[in-house]
Amino acid sequence: MSDVKATPGTQAELRRANQQRVIEILRTGGTLTQAEIARATGLSAASVSNIVRDLSDSGTVSVRQTSSNGRRARGVTLVRPPGAVIGIAFDPDRISVALGDGRGTVVARESIGYDVAAGPERGVRRAVWLTETLLGRARADRSMVTAAGVSLPAPVDTATGEILGVSCLPRWDGSCPSDALAERLGMPVFAENDANLCALEETRAGVGRGREHVIYLCLSHGVGAGMIVSGQLLRGAGGTAGEIGHMGLDERGQVCRCGNRGCLETVAGAPYLLDMLPRHGDSDGPATLAELVDAAVSDPGPRRIIAEAGSALGRATAILANVVNPDLVIVGGELAAAGELLLEPMRRSMELGTLGTALNDLTIVQAELGAEAALRGALRLASAATA
């Protein structure tokens, strides 16, 4: 029999389609000879031989000598069943990519420092390059991957995947990175806000396991919250629920990038916290939140800045607690590494602004999964979307 008729598209697309046919036959049929694969797929023997060689080189199948009807043959076995997923996490200064199995478990990962905030087109191209690099190093063929999930430090329209309003990536506002990635990767891509993904992952596999009423605070470049109510993620009508970084706390405070004054982000977001540090001549001080947290161990200046951020977070979280009535607040993101230097002033502030009945059963804890939460959440997003 001849190969399947070419449909409109490139030769590479036809080759991937034929590879997928072979993978599907092996998934249902187990170990098969190349002749059996050719009969089952309708592909020529030469085409099957080339496809098996490519899949073997990528580690997707194993090939061993066997016999069929008394003759020597080559038995082909699927090594890595299809159904893998990709997770992509964008941060303002970093891109991380992970390959996961059908359950969202991380199999391999890569991460690079990159100026993501420069714009969506370059960021998407770099993420595609990193994804292809990861698949190559993991010896995984793209035809094995069913979908990708994307974590973004921005509100995401739940219907269109478009980035909404003021975000940590201002040049990305109005863009739809999930569509751009889907076109370049050739697979379905699903996007979600990073705080939402972290909230879901911490309640599935982190410190929030078994809890149904949880607020997750993501404290990094900006300030966001993921809210789990009765076991369900609260996204809001358009996807902007949890944007607490722009909750007004002081009408005479510093002007925020959103245009308002005294937003929570102006006293708890990375750029504002680092700007509060005193500079002495040309001496270098902390340039990142991680360095700020390290300096706070022995320097009263950074320690005071973190404590004031904790107090402001407590005031904002008290409002959320009175409205949502959670039993757990999880503090995550880079600033969470400060531990009790941040959490203790936060607890004291909440005691002054939270209803007693809302505070009685409320616990405030540091996140368990750290920087992995968003990436693992992106993997689960892809797995759930294609289940």
Q: Which residue has the tokens 């569509």?
A: 179
Q: What is the pLDDT of residues 318-373, one digit of tens each?
A: 999 999 999 999 999 999 999 999 999 999 999 999 999 999 989 999 999 998 99
Could you state, in order of their start, the residue ranges of all structural domains in the chain? 11-78, 84-192, 207-368
Helices 194-205, 372-385: inter-axial angle, 10-degree rounding: 90
Q: In the sheet that 61-68 helps form, which strands lie side by side, from edge to edge?
A: 32-33, 71-78, 61-68
Asked whether the beta carbons of 194 and 203 are under 8 A apart, the reply is no
Q: Which residues contact 161 (CB under 8 A, 6 or more apart)?
A: 176, 177, 178, 179, 190, 191
Instruction: State residue 385's pLDDT score.
Output: 85
Q: What is the pLDDT of residues 364-373, one digit of tens each?
A: 999 999 989 9
Q: What dihedral do alpha carbons 197, 199, 200, 204 form, nearest 10°?
A: 130
Asked whether the beta carbons of 249 and 230 are under 8 A apart, the reply is no
Residue 376 tokens, joined: 């693992």
CATH homologous superfamily, domain 84-192:
ATPase, nucleotide binding domain (3.30.420.40)
| In CATH, 207-368 is 3.30.420.40 | yes
Q: Which residue has the tokens 């036959």?
A: 25
How confident is residue 209, by pLDDT bands cut at 50, 70 and 90?
very high
Residue 43 tokens, joined: 């592909």
Asked whether the beta carbons of 343 and 234 are under 8 A apart, the reply is no
Same fold, 11-78 and 207-368: no
Output the average pLDDT for the chain.
Answer: 89
How far apart CA 218 and CA 373 sit, in angstroms, is 11
CATH number of 11-78: 1.10.10.10
CA-wise closest residue to 201 among 380, 327, 324 = 380
